[in-house]
Amino acid sequence: MFQKKLEYSFILLVIFALIYLAKNYYDSYQFKHNEIPHEYKTRIIEKEKEVLSLMQKHYGFAYKVPLIVTDKFKGRLYGLSVYKDGEVSIYLNKKVMQESIDYIIDSVIAHEYAHALMFKLGYFSKNGDGHSSRWREACVKLGGVNCGEYVSREDVIMGKLPF
């Protein structure tokens, strides 16, 4: 009798696990093949407004650049500022948004806008020193929570914990 109950419990557990996996797969598929959710767009726009307001406050102007969400990144790069032909664009990686939207809002947008500001002010060099002390100061002034050179996996993981 006990063995039958154990078998039924195991079968039930396997069924729930398969349902859970199927739902996660479906959610990932939907996220990958559709536009980002309206909530994400709203949060990105609000953070961009905040960053531009802080730029106006600290630097006397607001330098708005195209902010593009793309799934064309290779790897796990969260964002990228591109300076080409005198124009700056900011790209955010859609592939990591589903698991890290809070980190992107709290840190990546200000981080990339700080790069755009450095381009605008002419504080960039060919030697690849994009994360100078001047850049770090700008990142903090623009509201960046984590103004490190690269994404801290620990910050992303710790940000998901409920405590």
The yes-or-no verdict on residue 8 having pLDDT over 70 is yes
In eight-state DSSP terms, residue 76 is: T
In this predicted model, which residue has the larger pLDDT, 89 or 128?
89
> What one-character DSSP code corresponds to residue 37?
P
| Sheet strand arrangement including 87-93 | 67-70, 87-93, 79-84
Is 81 in the same domain as 109? yes
pLDDT of 30 over the 90 cut: no
Mean pLDDT of 104-129: 86
Predicted confidence band of residue 124 (pLDDT cuts 50, 70, 90) = confident
- Same-domain pairing of 7 and 60: no
Judged by average pLDDT, the poorest of 12-21, 61-70, 122-131, 151-160 is 151-160
Mean pLDDT of the chain: 86
**Shared domain check, 94 and 139:** yes
Domain that residue 116 falls in: 37-159
Mean pLDDT of 120-138: 81
H-helix or E-strand containing 113?
A: helix 109-121
Phi then psi dihedrals of residue 98, to 5 deg? -60, -35
Confidence of residue 161 (pLDDT cuts 50, 70, 90): very low
Residues 99 and 144 occupy one common structural domain: yes
Residue 96 has pLDDT above 50, yes or no: yes
Q: Do residues 76 and 130 share a domain? A: yes
Identify whether residues 126 and 54 lie together within a single domain: yes
User: Could you give the 3-state DSSP secondary structure of residue 89?
Assistant: strand
Q: Do 6 and 41 have their domain in common?
A: no
Strand ranges in 40-139 using DSSP code E only, listed in sequence order: 67-70, 79-84, 87-93
Report the alpha-carbon distance of residue 142 to residue 140 in Å, rounded: 5
CA 77, distance to chain mean position in Å, is 9
Mean pLDDT to the nearest integer, 32-54: 94
Which of 84, 80, 85, 86 shows the shortest CA–CA distance to 120? Answer: 86
| pLDDT band at residue 50 under the 50/70/90 scheme | very high
User: SS3 of 75, please?
Assistant: coil
User: Count of domains in the chain?
Assistant: 2
